[in-house]
Amino acid sequence: MLSLGFILWLIPLVLIWVRYDNMPHASNVLFAILLLPFVMLDEILRFSGLLPEFPFLIGVFQFIPVLLAAQVYLAMHNMLIEKPVHNKWVHKAIATFFFVAQVPFLLFSDEAKVALFSNPPMGAIADNWPFYVYYMFINFAILIYALKIDDMVKEYDFHLSDQVVDITQYELPETMKLFSGLVSISFGAILLVIVTALNLIQFSYWQGIISLLHFGIFYVIILLLLQRRRYSPCPIDAEDLSDRTYSEEEMRLTLAKAERAIIRNKLYKALGLRLRTLADLAEIEPKDLAVATRSILNRNFRAYMYHYRLEYAKKIILRSDIKISAIAKRLGFTSEKVLSEMFVKYVQNMASDDALSQEEHDRLMHRKN
């Protein structure tokens, strides 16, 4: 069993070694991998009969699940948000609090610690309430982290079109959105502690079950964080998009710089283009460009770049006989149908604004049909 556990632990360790330089959250994931085995240390000692041999290790690492939850939160933040985490000390303080809170238990005699972990308490709240409360608060802290991660993922998804063009390349896979599992496990662990404390069930392995659940869910989360994928830490947030302190002249200057960069670098042909990439090439701030496209053009970044892509598609269609399916693939549209539908709408809008001649309009409609 120990050999199997060691092999399972080696899998994420090898993956992080191979992919470390390509992940913005690599340091947090590596730390989480190194911490993971300590979640099960007490159970390993108990089931191997080694508790009396290593009493000084018993209960030392009970705070590790909270530290793991903090590392997962920081990893997700670094993966999804460009701005640094504010108040990092808070996360260190939370982990330190749970470590200090277990110190009184660590001062127990070796015999008392061995007895307590060999047969975890059930009922007798008056005598064992510190033990129950500690476990409840650990899982409550994990629950809070899980809810914050879930909110972060939803916020990222909601604003994805404000910072990338080809959203399918940067969308989180469905499995990455399963942090609700961490919510369920932490909430279930709290309920298990309560029913055990109230002696509603007689289950002597409740502590081991909680440790096993923690190990399992964090192991799966670590593997999800190690998936090979594109990363796009968002350089803006909701407050940036609602900023109204810019003058119209400033915003139009920003758009002019962006357009020059797009044409100079032919970014309308760049698949996977990000707001940060364009902003750096145009030597402007991502926030300035996001606000300008919203306020002046009433578009998000994706729609803003689609204008240039469709203009480029129009030129290709008018000047060559290239199939629309080939153009769609070249410009990153998911299918010929998607490009055709968007293109027809674009042409109709252009025609209504007298931006196209009737001859061009008829020719484009004929290519669609």
Burial call 172-211: b when 16+ CB within 10 Å, e when fewer: beeebebbeebbebbeebbebbeebbeeeeeeeebbbebb
Domains and CATH numbers, the chain: 2-225 (1.20.1070), 238-368 (1.10.10.60)
Q: What is the pTM of this model?
A: 0.87
- Radius of gyration from C-alpha coordinates of the chain: 28
CA distance 266 to 259: 10
pLDDT of residue 127: 84
Amino acid at 154: K
Predicted confidence (pLDDT) per residue in 31-83, tens digit: 999 999 999 998 888 888 888 889 899 889 999 999 999 999 999 999 999 99
Euclidean distance between CA atoms 189 and 183, whole angstroms: 10
Low-confidence ranges of the chain (pLDDT < 50): 353-361, 364-365, 368-369
Measured from the Cβ of residue 125, the count of other Cβ atoms closer than 10 Å reads 14
For residue range 254-272, what is the model confidence (pLDDT) as tens digits? Answer: 999 999 999 999 998 888 8
Predicted pLDDT at 279? 96
What is the rounded distance in angstroms from the CA atom of residue 342 to the CA atom of residue 348? Answer: 10
Angle at which helices 64-80 and 206-225 pack, to 10 degrees? 20
pLDDT at position 335: 65
Q: What is the pLDDT of residue 364?
A: 47
Q: Which amino acid appears at position 100 of this protein?
A: V
Distance CA(30)–CA(16), nearest Å, equals 7
CA distance 191 to 188: 5
Helix (H), strand (E), coil (C) string for 52-73: CCCHHHCCCCCCHHHHHHHHHH
Rama region for 124: left / alpha / beta (φ>0; ψ in -120 to 50; rest) = left
Q: Report which of 159, 112, 150, 117 is spatially closest to residue 302, judged by C-alpha positions.
A: 159
